[in-house]
Copies of this chain bind each other. A is one copy, B any other.
Amino acid sequence: MKYLRGMGVVLLLWYVAAFLISSPVIPFPHSVFIYTLDQFVPQEMHLHLLYSLYRILLGLFIALFFAIPTGMIAGRVPALDRLISPVLYLLYPLPKIAFLPVFMVLLGIGDLSKIILIAIIIYFPASVTIRDGVKEIPFEFLQLAVAYHLSRKQVLKDIIWPAILPRIFSSLRITLGISLSVLFISETYAASYGLGYSIMNYWVMAQYTGMYAAIMLLSLLGLLLYIIVDWAERLCVHPRANM
């Protein structure tokens, strides 16, 4: 499988880095593997994985659920874009972590607030990519839609949606990475399961082997999700001029 070679490369880089830096902050891969097998697998690894997965997927889903319409409207209706874009531009740079207090007030410290936090973080990049994608739809197709009197719904279904589908997958890939890498933000408070929670726990204790074990699992989880996204894209996106 093609992903194995990539993993080999990462492993190699990791070994080289561990060797060059030769500090406990980068443990050697094999010791991390051993730790994983020793400590993680027998214990509650699957729980950590599942909790993180659940939060990410739900967060992604909620974010895209709102980002896709936002992006489409902003991309299609210039009048509204003039309103939406500055709002996005103003809110996107906000450090979401600084709004933790607001989250806690509004949503408590349970799972909901973690999921919404992830959703909000990725809502912005997703909206911006989708908006940019919609703006790039060839004018010819939009003119075609007018000439053939497509209803709003048909324009959406037959032109806009298929035209931006590759963009949606692209933004899915970007936001997936973001949501995984900010997992630790949402799982640092009041969690007892989740990979972010494990990473944080090991981190504050400077337990680098354990931390890398959790990171490795996170990274593999990411790869798995990416494989799924790539595969779904091949299924959904129309074949294009080939060879």
A: residues with CB less than 8 A from B are 2-3, 5-7, 9-10, 13, 17, 21, 23, 25-26, 82-87, 89-98, 101-102, 104-106, 121, 124-125, 128-129, 132-133, 136, 138-140, 166-167, 169-170, 173-174, 176-178, 180-184, 196, 199, 203, 206, 208, 211, 215, 218-223, 226-227, 240-243
14 contacts between A and B (CB under 8 A): A5-B86, A7-B90, A9-B83, A9-B87, A25-B101, A25-B102, A89-B226, A89-B227, A92-B181, A93-B181, A93-B222, A94-B181, A125-B178, A139-B243
**Are B6 and A218 closer than 8 Å at their CB atoms?**
no
Q: Which of B106, B125, B199, B203 contacts A174 (CB 8 A)?
A: B125
Residue of A87, A90, A180, A184 with most partner-chain B CB within 10 A: A90
Name the residue of chain B whose CB is nearest to the CB of A202: B98
Q: How far is the CA of A79 from the CA of B5 in the complex (A)?
A: 11
Q: How far is the CA of A60 from the CA of B97 in the complex (A)?
A: 21
**Are A132 and B170 closer than 8 Å at their CB atoms?**
yes
Number of copies: 2
Which residues of chain B have C-beta atoms less than 8 A from A106's C-beta?
21
CB distance from A101 to the nearest CB of B (A): 4
Which residues of chain B have C-beta atoms less than 8 A from A183's C-beta?
95
**Are A92 and B139 closer than 8 Å at their CB atoms?**
no
**Are A93 and B218 closer than 8 Å at their CB atoms?**
yes
**Are B3 and A139 closer than 8 Å at their CB atoms?**
no
Q: Which of B98, B121, B170 contacts A199 (CB 8 A)?
A: B98
Which residues of chain B have C-beta atoms less than 8 A from A121's C-beta?
181
CB distance from A113 to the nearest CB of B (A): 13
Q: Which of B6, B87, B138 contacts A6 (CB 8 A)?
A: B87
Which residues of chain B have C-beta atoms less than 8 A from A86's C-beta?
2-3, 5-7, 9-10, 223
Q: How far is the CA of A97 from the CA of B117 in the complex (A)?
A: 17
Which residues of chain B have C-beta atoms less than 8 A from A5's C-beta?
82-83, 86
**Are A177 and B128 closer than 8 Å at their CB atoms?**
yes
Q: How far is the CA of A2 from the CA of B84 in the complex (A)?
A: 10
Q: How far is the CA of A221 from the CA of B93 in the complex (A)?
A: 9
